[in-house]
A = this chain, B = another copy of it.
Amino acid sequence: MNYQIPEIDLKALFLGHKGENVDIFKEVLLKMVDEHVGWRQNYQPQDLPVITPFDKSSKSFQDTTDHMRSVFNELSSKLRSESLPWHTAGRFWGHMNSETLMPAIIAYSTAMLWNGNNVAYESSPGTSQMEEEVGHQLCKMMSYKAGESWGHICADGSIANFEGLWYARNMKSLPLAIKEVAPEYVEGKSEWELLNMSTDEILDIMDKLPEKMDEIKAKSARSGRHLTKLGKWLIPQTKHYSWLKAGDILGVGLDAVEAIDVDSTYHMDIEKLEIRIRELAAQNIPILGVVGVVGSTEEGQIDHIHKMVALREKLMKEGIYFYIHVDAAYGGYARAIFLDENDNFIDYDKIDEVYARNNVFKDMKLKDEWLTDDVYNAFKAMSQVESVTIDPHKMGYIPYSAGAIAIKDIRMRDAISYFATYVFEKGADIPALLGAYIMEGSKAGATAAAVWTAHKVLPLNITGYGKLMGASIEGAFRFYNFLKNKKFHVNGKVITAYPLTRPDFNMVDYVFNEEGNTDLEKMNKLNHDFFDYSSYVKGDLYSNEFFTSHTDFAVPDYGNSPLEYVQSLGFTKGEWDRVEKVTILRACALSPYAHDPEVFEDYAAKIEKAMQENLEKVYTYENVMQDNLDKILTYQMN
């Protein structure tokens, strides 16, 4: 069904930080449970219940249910005592945790009663169709062409990234296999040229060779051949470990995974990328592919995909081609904020008008602060890359686990698929055995139901997810502005907060420093100690009044990219060279409520107070430890 989408009120779509919508939650949940039970009862209604009233009155039945109830008491206690209160509207500024969409939770819970397995259409006709639909929705969100593109749900972003490298690896090797099986199709090409054919060119040749496809694939990288010839897989310097695992697992090898420096605002440096590609080309080493990151794990930054694409176009004229995979596990859904009511990418000069019409951003000044040309153009250019990882369980506000991958050209699917005979269901485009086209095998139909339901409720454009993305970005910028030069007075010292950089999206990194401090190690310790008091590390999970997370930017992963920031805080280059690390506090601004100025202001006062208290704990503990260490030891010994 295509729904007439009403003006979406985000407050109606979450359980609420105090469970405000528990009435709606239970209503819909129980309705779905009852409808499931009705379905069970009315399948062959002449069949009687096998669990009889007498069974239910028996001692073993009662004992078993009481045993089960006891286990649930333990489960409930463990969950309540050992979980983080990320649900709070304004106190959790840490990890990627937050409320998830109520419709997704209910859909998952109740689709689970049917327990479809989307590995095969036969076992899950309903949810297999939903997964296919979700794949096409994600493609549309990337502005990939309908009918020519494809996508599916994965267990998580790492698996989606592995699959991206799997596509790239097998695609890159196909020309070498064609050369063996049908050399007339690549006549006159040198090995260098074979390894620099574009994805389009390769797929067009494969189209002409359907009867030789299996033979060609059998001689591609999947055979174990050519792996050492495929060249380098280039990733940003901040290299997320999932890309190291990818290189290891896919047999490309860590030796083939190379990092390209990021600049001082944590984007892959495209000039350095070009230099490195040319250096490698001069040594006859091809480029297997380049990974652009949309929403980096530690900073939420958006790589300049448009510049990557432009570089590829330039180098293609010189006979150099590389596959581009965009790791938008975190930021993928943010493309919805650039799509209008008809899913068209909004012209830059129409953005304000479209946002105003859809009530996106309560304060358009914050939008202006956020939206740069580069951010706009990077999202726009995502339509031109071969594949993209998008995690519904991150900015899709879907419960774990739900990752996804979308590919621009559905024909690439054959580069990794199994079985010679391609069986599709019901004359449509839905694989009978999805497991033959993806890494995973068995997979929950419930995940597809959850994502499908969320996408139906919140379309992947400005009327739905775009609005939620706007709320998240606006909340992030409120927090960012709140932090800027915020001062705390603790034990006679002045402590100031310094955000790292203007966020491209909704992640705010920052540090505290003591006025006049020029010792970088001391600052790192201050921030680490502050994190300890503002997290699960020290003190109680549940009574903490402010939560944050932390990370280290150190030379092995970041090179000197943090230097500019560190210098802006008054540290010398010598100090940076000595310490080679800066400890950063990190906030993913995911709360769907904190964009509201009233809500934010209320919490701003509360978290300012909580920060003050946590800083005081740091300093008190410090003083006690430093001034009284001997005394304490003496006491203890008596």
Known A6-B60, A20-B50, A44-B88; further 8 A-B contacts with Cβ < 8 A: A8-B60, A32-B72, A50-B599, A68-B102, A86-B115, A97-B115, A242-B441, A400-B445
Contact B47 A17 (CB under 8 A): yes
Residue of B nearest to A95 (CB): B123
A491 within 8 A of B: no
Contact A6 B399 (CB under 8 A): no
Q: Encode A236-252 as 1/0 by CB contact (under 8 A) with B.
A: 00000110110111111
Contact A125 B69 (CB under 8 A): no
Sampled A-B contacts (9; CB under 8 Å): A17-B47, A20-B56, A29-B33, A31-B76, A43-B542, A71-B457, A105-B109, A115-B400, A403-B442
Evaluate whether A456 and B241 lie within 8 angstroms (CB atoms) in the complex, with A63-B7, A254-B222, A440-B158 already known.
no
Q: Which of A31, A86, A245 has the most CB of B within 10 A?
A: A245
With a cutoff of 8 Å between Cβ atoms, the chain B residues found around residue A108 in the complex are: 109, 112
How many angstroms from the CA of A70 to the CA of B26 in the assembled complex? 16
With a cutoff of 8 Å between Cβ atoms, the chain B residues found around residue A255 in the complex are: 223-225
Contact A68 B13 (CB under 8 A): yes
Contact B26 A47 (CB under 8 A): no
Evaluate whether A156 and B6 lie within 8 angstroms (CB atoms) in the complex, with A76-B35, A400-B115 already known.
no
Within 8 A of B (CB), among A185-231: 218, 222-225, 227-228
Contact B40 A115 (CB under 8 A): no
How many angstroms from the CA of A445 to the CA of B75 in the assembled complex? 12
Contact A47 B18 (CB under 8 A): yes
With a cutoff of 8 Å between Cβ atoms, the chain B residues found around residue A20 in the complex are: 49-51, 56
With a cutoff of 8 Å between Cβ atoms, the chain B residues found around residue A41 in the complex are: 18-19
Evaluate whether A16 and B158 lie within 8 angstroms (CB atoms) in the complex, with A91-B44, A227-B227 already known.
no
With a cutoff of 8 Å between Cβ atoms, the chain B residues found around residue A47 in the complex are: 17-18, 88-91, 606
How many angstroms from the CA of A34 to the CA of B549 in the assembled complex? 29
Among A261-269, A374-382, A446-454, the one that faces the other chain is: A446-454
Residue of B nearest to A19 (CB): B37
| Min CB gap A28→B, angstroms | 6
Contact A157 B115 (CB under 8 A): no
With a cutoff of 8 Å between Cβ atoms, the chain B residues found around residue A162 in the complex are: 249, 439
Contact A111 B75 (CB under 8 A): yes
Within 8 A of B (CB), among A398-426: 399-401, 403, 416, 418-419
With a cutoff of 8 Å between Cβ atoms, the chain B residues found around residue A29 in the complex are: 29, 33
Question: DSSP majority for the A interface?
Answer: helix
Contact A43 B85 (CB under 8 A): yes
Contact A436 B241 (CB under 8 A): yes
A148 within 8 A of B: no
Contact A60 B7 (CB under 8 A): yes
Residue of B nearest to A155 (CB): B155
Evaluate whether A67 and B254 lie within 8 angstroms (CB atoms) in the complex, with A112-B108, A113-B105, A444-B400 already known.
no
A472 within 8 A of B: no
How many angstroms from the CA of A38 to the CA of B69 in the assembled complex? 18
Q: Encode A48-66 as 1/0 by CB contact (under 8 A) with B.
A: 1111000110101101111
How many angstroms from the CA of A250 to the CA of B222 in the assembled complex? 9
Q: Encode A103-128 as 1/0 by CB contact (under 8 A) with B.
A: 10111111111111101101111110
Number of copies: 2
Contact B106 A443 (CB under 8 A): no
With a cutoff of 8 Å between Cβ atoms, the chain B residues found around residue A473 in the complex are: none
Contact A126 B55 (CB under 8 A): no
Residue of B nearest to A398 (CB): B115
Contact B159 A400 (CB under 8 A): no
How many angstroms from the CA of A58 to the CA of B10 in the assembled complex? 12
Contact A129 B75 (CB under 8 A): no
| Min CB gap A546→B, angstroms | 10
With a cutoff of 8 Å between Cβ atoms, the chain B residues found around residue A78 in the complex are: 126, 129-130
Contact B74 A11 (CB under 8 A): no
Contact A549 B122 (CB under 8 A): yes
Within 8 A of B (CB), among A251-296: 251-256
Contact B63 A245 (CB under 8 A): no
A624 within 8 A of B: no
Q: Which of B12, B39, B251 contacts A224 (CB 8 A)?
A: B251
Contact B541 A51 (CB under 8 A): no
How many angstroms from the CA of A88 to the CA of B130 in the assembled complex? 24
Contact B249 A156 (CB under 8 A): no
| Min CB gap A87→B, angstroms | 5
A100 within 8 A of B: yes
Contact B18 A40 (CB under 8 A): yes
A21 within 8 A of B: yes
Q: Which of B18, B81, B242, B393 contacts A126 (CB 8 A)?
A: B81
Contact A13 B64 (CB under 8 A): yes
How many angstroms from the CA of A75 to the CA of B450 in the assembled complex? 10
Q: Encode A163-197 as 1/0 by CB contact (under 8 A) with B.
A: 00010001000000000000000000000000000
With a cutoff of 8 Å between Cβ atoms, the chain B residues found around residue A24 in the complex are: 65
With a cutoff of 8 Å between Cβ atoms, the chain B residues found around residue A493 in the complex are: none
| Min CB gap A4→B, angstroms | 8
Q: Encode A423-442 as 1/0 by CB contact (under 8 A) with B.
A: 00000000000011001111
With a cutoff of 8 Å between Cβ atoms, the chain B residues found around residue A91 in the complex are: 44, 47
Contact B241 A419 (CB under 8 A): yes
